[in-house]
Amino acid sequence: MLYFKIPQHNTKDGVMFPVVLTPNLKLTKTVELTEAIKANRSWLDSLLHRSGAVLFRGFSVSSASDFNDVVESSGYEDFSYGVGGAGSRTKVIGRVYTANEAPPDQDIPFHHEMSHV
């Protein structure tokens, strides 16, 4: 938790959603998100389990490669996109994919779990 500051968030029935984490600016060194995730994995897992979502804001993640490093640092298993589905996606790097490349006339329902698998 040393690496993170918890700013104001929304709550629903006393549960923060999402939990928003920003760099702890009181530290003398720049907070590397991948390092912070690895060092605080158990605590972050408990936040994720309790809230359902953790939003990292204000960290230096400026490329697809940087984002892939963040995803990899979580230690979670890879999620396969090779099953099919309505949305077409292209692998950018590692575990980073485009959001959706389907034609504009193709409907993809909001929160449709199979739209990108």
**Residue listed under structure tokens 């907070």:** 31
Q: Is the confidence at residue 71, as pLDDT, over 70? A: yes
pLDDT digits (tens, 9 = 90+) for 3-44: 676 666 677 787 878 888 988 888 878 889 999 999 999 999
Report field, pTM of the whole predicted structure over 0.85:
no
Region 109-114: mean pLDDT is 59
Any residues with CB less than 8 A from the CB of 100 and at least 6 apart, and which? 87, 88, 89, 108, 116
Q: Is the confidence at residue 72, as pLDDT, over 80? A: yes
User: Domain spans of the chain?
Assistant: 1-60, 65-104
